[in-house]
Amino acid sequence: GNSVTQMEGPVTLSEEAFLTINCTYTATGYPSLFWYVQYPGEGLQLLLKATKADDKGSNKGFEATYRKETTSFHLEKGSVQVSDSAVYFCALSRVGSQGNLIFGKGTKLSVKP
Amino acid sequence: GAGVSQSPRYKVAKRGQDVALRCDPISGHVSLFWYQQALGQGPEFLTYFQNEAQLDKSGLPSDRFFAERPEGSVSTLKIQRTQQEDSAVYLCASSLDRSLGDEQFFGPGTRLTVL
């Protein structure tokens, strides 16, 4: 079946540290891949997406590359800020569906000043 | 409003009560999704509407769950005879159309607690 596995948190980093949150997926065909973010007290927001292999999604200094050969979509940021503290969800939109998303369990990131 | 709104934001129900959760999608958005998010988990798909048509209800956990979108805009998720395992945050999302890469805009959710 279709599923998403992301690294478990919580992840605690100091400001300006490098961030990687691993995400791998299982799917038939070529799904679209997404990272959503949930800031404290707010709803889920799309952070970035990639719709085909080798695409790189980027936003707010975050990047993720759709790697078909490793079925991965790892989230990276070169220098995190306190304001990046949030829960990050990796998700896929499976081929043949109406676009409903399958989410990972989420990774909580805390950035300390 | 500019975003997806949901009401109520919080709902406490006694076991066995019926509840109704409302979602107001972004105006003009064709697609509407409901998700259930248990504590510490990612959201899980419940059901999907394209305009007023419910095209996929494969994620509804039991026949106690029912959703409707009669005029293709506002949607209601109804849970009959609530059980403790129904306690979760219920999220509504809408998107402009149903292409796979289309962004879904999420509401703030309704946190349901069943006592």
> Using one digit for the tens of pLDDT, what is the confidence trace for B26-58?
999 999 999 999 998 999 999 999 999 999 999
What's the mean pLDDT in B53-72? 95
User: Residue A96: pLDDT above 70?
Assistant: no
Test B4 with A43 for CB contact under 8 angstroms.
Answer: yes
- Give all strands (DSSP E) within A15-100, no chain letters: 19-21, 23-26, 32-38, 45-50, 56-59, 62-65, 75-77, 86-93
Query: For residue A42, what pLDDT is reported?
Result: 86
pLDDT surpassing 60 at residue A56 = yes
CA distance A51 to A30: 8
Average model confidence (pLDDT) across chain A? 93
Amino acid in the structure at residue B4: V
Among B18, B37, B55, B56, smallest CA distance to B107 is for: B37
Residue B99: per-residue pLDDT? 59
CB contact under 8 A, A43 and B106: yes
Q: What is the pLDDT of residue A1?
A: 81
* Residue B103 pLDDT greater than 90, yes or no: no
Reply yes or no on whether the pLDDT at B101 is more than 90: no
Decide if A95 and B100 are in contact by the 8 Å CB cutoff. yes
Size of interface A-B (CB pairs under 8 A): 69
Shortest distance between the Cα of B48 and any Cα of chain A, in A, equals 7
B48, B91, B95 member nearest A44 (Cβ)? B91
Q: What is the pLDDT of residue B75?
A: 98
Write the residue in A95, A101, A106 that is nearest to B104 by C-beta.
A101
Give the per-residue pLDDT at A95: 67
Give the integer Cα–Cα distance in Å for B82 and B16: 5
Contact between A98 and B45 using a beta-carbon 8 Å cutoff: no
Report chain A residues whose CB lies below 8 A from the CB of B10.
Answer: none
**pLDDT of B97 above 90:** no
Q: What is the band of B1 on the pLDDT scale with cuts at 50, 70, 90?
A: low
Residue B100 pLDDT: 52
Question: What is the predicted pLDDT for the residue at B102?
Answer: 74
Give the distance from CA A68 to its chain's centroid: 15
CB contact under 8 A, A91 and B109: no
